[in-house]
Amino acid sequence: MKIAVLPGDGIGPEIVAQAVRVLKALGPNFDLEEAPVGGAAYDVAGHPLPPATLELAKKADAILFGAVGDWKYDTLARELRPEQAILGLRKHLELFANFRPAICYPELTSASSLKPEIIGGLDILIVRELNGDIYFGQPRGIRTSELPLFKGAREGFDTMHYSEPEVERIAHVAFEAARKRGKKVCSVDKANVLETSQLWREVMIRISKEYPDVELSHMYVDNAAMQLVKAPKAFDVVVTGNLFGDILSDEAAMLTGSIGMLPSASLDKNNKGLYEPSHGSAPDIAGKGIANPLATILSAAMMLRYSLGMPAQADRIEKAVQNVLAQGFRTADIYTEGTKKVSTIQMGDAVVAALS
Ligand code: IPM
Ligand code: MG
């Protein structure tokens, strides 16, 4: 099994190193090959997604990804910014289905800014479409405005669109996922304003007929943002487009109090996937050895389950993580009084030890 290891920027290399240790400790002989991505790749190869990195990602069975982005690249032209690496990988590999679970671990309930009764036992899944929407829509750019009031001024513009097949395939992913969980799908859109959303909703309703055992509901994105903090446990699977999913998945992750805990998977139609923590590159804490590697370690577990067909090994990692939490080990982001504060490497040590 070939795994492309793309550590990236900021805390990426530190957290990916711990996930790699965990994979190696599992036993099976994975063929791990590393390549630069994001700002780190721009520095050595002049592009955030160099051809060699893309080639490696294409030929691998799965991709383990850290994070990209750093303020020092903020002044680069958009096509050279680190974010283009992850967007390019998603697009080139047709990784259209993004799974972002938000789970509140019982040991970490007090780390959330919400009351324990609101988030205790939370287990929701955001299914975010990843290949379409305003992220990739053309035309886009900066031009001279034709609006009578602002004629001649510079204006930025982007295009939101979704074709029916794009909505159909993410709908199937969401309904299938719900079948294996709480059998509820909430489709989030802005159908009261956007044409794109109106079509999205129509397609969701049509596809839902193929899943009579799953209950479909709809919510406008502004209301969904509110309901996520008011009564998050009312959700099971949330399916939404690229832009709304970007925003709501950060919100859902933070509900759990520990964005450093949440893995994600981005899959193509054959379940080949890219696995990354839900959090970003956190350049402010990079190199300090305090980042939480658990989201990346749990992403490696998702990789074993979804792309590599090794569910027993995935279970082993997930149990080991629960075990280290039960033992009281905490990185700074999830530390509360009475627990044991550990570094990134010590957390990796603890997980490796808990595997056996
Ligand atoms: C995410 C990130 C990316 C996105 C950025 C880095 C381009 O925020 O994975 O949620 O907007 O999709
Ligand atoms: Mg985001």
For 110, which DSSP code? G
Stated pTM of the model: 0.94
Two tokens at 233? 């446990």
135 is catalytic: yes
Of 70, 250, 272, 333, which one is the catalytic site residue? 250
Of 2, 43, 72, 222, which one is the catalytic site residue? 222
Protein residue with its CA nearest to atom 2 in ligand 1: 246
Q: Chain-centre distance of CA 223, in angstroms?
A: 22
**Ranges assigned E (strand) in 130-202:** 141-144, 154-157, 184-189
315 is catalytic: no
Full set of structural domains in the chain with CATH: 1-96+268-356 (3.40.718.10), 100-133+160-260 (3.40.718.10)
Residue written as tokens 């294996």? 180
Q: What gap in Å lies between CA 283 and CA 285, rounded to an integer? A: 5
* Distance in Å, CA 257 to ligand 1 centroid: 19
Predicted local distance difference test score (pLDDT) of residue 356: 84
Pocket test for ligand 1, best of 89, 158, 242, 246 (most atoms within 8 A of CB): 246
Q: What gap in Å lies between CA 319 and CA 47, rounded to an integer? A: 39
Report how far apart, in Å, the C-alpha atoms of 56 and of each of 5, 33, 81, 134, 342 are.
Answer: 9, 8, 20, 28, 34
Of the listed ligands, the closest to the CA of 82 is 1
236 is catalytic: no
Q: Which atom of ligand 1 is nearest to the CA of 249?
A: 10
Q: What gap in Å lies between CA 163 and CA 172, rounded to an integer? A: 15
Protein residue with its CA nearest to atom 1 in ligand 1: 246
Protein residue with its CA nearest to atom 4 in ligand 1: 246
Protein residue with its CA nearest to atom 7 in ligand 1: 83
Protein residue with its CA nearest to atom 12 in ligand 1: 246
Residues with CB under 6 A from ligand 1: 69, 83, 86-87, 246
Protein residue with its CA nearest to atom 8 in ligand 1: 246
Element (H, E) at 106: none
* Distance in Å, CA 250 to ligand 2 centroid: 6
Predicted local distance difference test score (pLDDT) of residue 50: 98
Q: Which atom of ligand 1 is nearest to the CA of 82?
A: 6
Two tokens at 266? 């981005």
Residue type, 75: T
Q: What gap in Å lies between CA 214 and CA 221, rounded to an integer? A: 21
* Distance in Å, CA 281 to ligand 1 centroid: 11
211 is catalytic: no
222 is catalytic: yes
Residues sharing a CB contact under 8 Å with residue 354, sequence separation 6 or more, in sequence order: 319, 320, 321, 323, 324, 327
Predicted local distance difference test score (pLDDT) of residue 28: 80
- Classified as helix, coil or strand, 51 is helix
Predicted local distance difference test score (pLDDT) of residue 257: 78
Terminal-to-terminal C-alpha distance of the chain: 22
Q: Which of 223, 220, 229 is nearest to 250 (CA)?
A: 229
Q: Which atom of ligand 1 is nearest to the CA of 98?
A: 9
Per-residue pLDDT 10s for the chain (356 aa) are 899 999 999 999 999 999 999 999 998 889 999 999 999 999 999 999 999 999 999 999 999 999 999 999 999 999 999 999 999 999 999 999 999 999 998 888 888 889 999 999 999 999 999 999 999 999 999 999 999 999 999 999 999 999 999 999 999 999 999 999 999 999 999 999 999 999 999 999 999 999 999 999 999 999 999 999 999 999 999 999 999 999 999 999 888 877 889 999 999 999 999 999 998 999 999 999 999 999 999 999 999 999 999 999 999 999 999 999 999 999 999 998 899 999 999 999 999 999 98
User: Please, which residues bridge with residue 281 across strands?
Assistant: none
Of the listed ligands, the closest to the CA of 98 is 1
Q: What gap in Å lies between CA 170 and CA 197, rounded to an integer? A: 14
Predicted local distance difference test score (pLDDT) of residue 259: 81
Q: How many residues does the chain have?
A: 356
- Give me the torsion for CA of 70, 243, 36, 258, rounded to 10°: 70
Neighbours of ion ligand 2 (CB under 5 A): 246
Report how far apart, in Å, the C-alpha atoms of 184 and of each of 55, 87, 97, 177, 311 are.
Answer: 38, 29, 18, 9, 24
